[in-house]
Structure 1
């Protein structure tokens, strides 16, 4: 049997849920259990354009609307980049603003809900942050957080790695976390009894058996790797350029061997040299680090 496709590949994720609205309903209900269950959804963006598979900075999300008119933006993200949260808030606000036409009553506004599955740790600075994996953001007063402007604009984040490490209580949410982190582990998945996750596993098997789906998933994965490589190269070039300017100011004109070291340096080496440029008394001393 073919190796199973990764559900955190955003192409696979979109195929998995945009083509199975009933499964998306279960995912939404399980990820936001504090709100009333929904019975059905309409997929607003069911198609995947060829350019989306290779385009830089494109995230393949699933946009849906339930029977009450509430809108959902569901996506999985495997890499962290600087402005991702601003992008999420922007699209959430735009979804909210697009609900009404000119002259319509604001009372007709329905919720705009972001559900983001993050395959990386986001909040890590404090012990309290490291012990929490499920987050929900709404508009609340800073000093009296019990005073809210309602939940028509809300962003829900789940840090998959952290949630898996912390070990959530048994239940639907934990079952989904297990699916997204351990889909390839047959024995682990055999112990998951939540029916929607079982159906998701069957869908993954079906998608994985299709050669064209496997090819397109690989195209998407390669594009994401290329994007990361491009960003890393740009960062490395920027750091090397700054370090070159600093060294010239301190040590004068640089010999050829220094430029060669900079051109072949890893980001970690550039960081180390940048930290010691102020204390090093010579180029030889600097490059010992």
Structure 2
């Protein structure tokens, strides 16, 4: 038996939910998210299929495989799975939601032709400052919480929070998220005996896990994600180091000013531009430095 591909990999996710022959699975998944939040049941969709672009899959661009559909009542829905926290998810979401709305009109169209637009973000990291794993947002009046319009709707589903939460396998969304997180889990063996759509999704996953070309694309995507995670971690580490350097430089300059009163601006600027190690050296020798001339030897 082939090793199962990871449904959270966006190449694999797109192959399960983003192709016409699996529309039934996507409709089921969408309904499990939207129906409990007061949306009507989706019966049919028009799916915007995307071809897998090898060069983009191998890149660190993280939003290339989102899924776009229009429902039978002209609601526009975007679904995107994100594995990396780039700390810009809310602004990104609003930006892409705005683009979805703009695409609905051409010059001269009436604003009344705008249809409800929903974006669903599935995140493999904690992001929203709330214990709930599923958060939804609308346009409300600040004080009364009265709904201004249902024209936009934003959902965040945080998989890490779901993993820690109490599961209710009678809940369809819980079943779908369990499939995404661990399709080989014992609970999935039980669920798929009773849930034909989860069973069908498992059959699709088994099938595509034997596709050599898709395996290669999924591996390329995994590598791109790992590289991007490494880049972001490096940037964070560098930011932490820079912050520590700046703080130490300022405290060292403060002590030097107490000792020497007037320090030329060019000396101050030079200290601020030194490496962390050099600033630490000045700090350690601070009480042995007897003059500005001696201080210059460290710069």
Q: Normalising to structure 2: TM-score of the pair?
A: 0.78
The aligned residue for residue 183 of structure 2 is 183
Measured in 2, the distance between the counterparts of 1:26 and 1:245 equals 53
Contact 1:42 1:64 in 2 (8 A): yes
Contact 1:119 1:159 in 2 (8 A): yes
Measured in 1, the distance between the counterparts of 2:141 and 2:249 equals 51
Residue 37 in structure 1 maps to residue 36 in structure 2: no
Measured in 1, the distance between the counterparts of 2:92 and 2:164 equals 27
Residue 61 in structure 1 maps to residue 66 in structure 2: yes
Measured in 2, the distance between the counterparts of 1:96 and 1:258 equals 49
Residue 92 in structure 1 maps to residue 97 in structure 2: yes
Write the deviation string for residues 83-142 of structure 1: whole angstroms up to 9, x where unpaired.
Answer: 111111111121012112222232222111111111222234xxxx22x22111011111
Instruction: Give 5+ residue unaligned stretches, structure 2.
Output: 254-270, 286-299
RMSD: 2.6
Contact 1:93 1:112 in 2 (8 A): no
The aligned residue for residue 226 of structure 2 is 225
Residue 47 in structure 1 maps to residue 54 in structure 2: no
The aligned residue for residue 263 of structure 2 is none
The aligned residue for residue 101 of structure 1 is 106
1:258 CA drift (Å)? 7.1
Name segments (4+ residues, structure 1) moved above 3 Å: 241-253, 257-260
Residue 136 in structure 1 maps to residue 123 in structure 2: no
Decide which of 82, 91, 109 is 1:77's aligned counterpart: 82
**Structure 1 residues 122 and 245, CA, compared in 2 at 3 Å: closer, same or farther?**
closer
Decide which of 26, 29, 47 is 2:28's aligned counterpart: 26
Contact 1:56 1:223 in 2 (8 A): yes
Measured in 1, the distance between the counterparts of 2:189 and 2:106 equals 49
Residue 171 in structure 1 maps to residue 151 in structure 2: no
Measured in 2, the distance between the counterparts of 1:28 and 1:39 equals 10
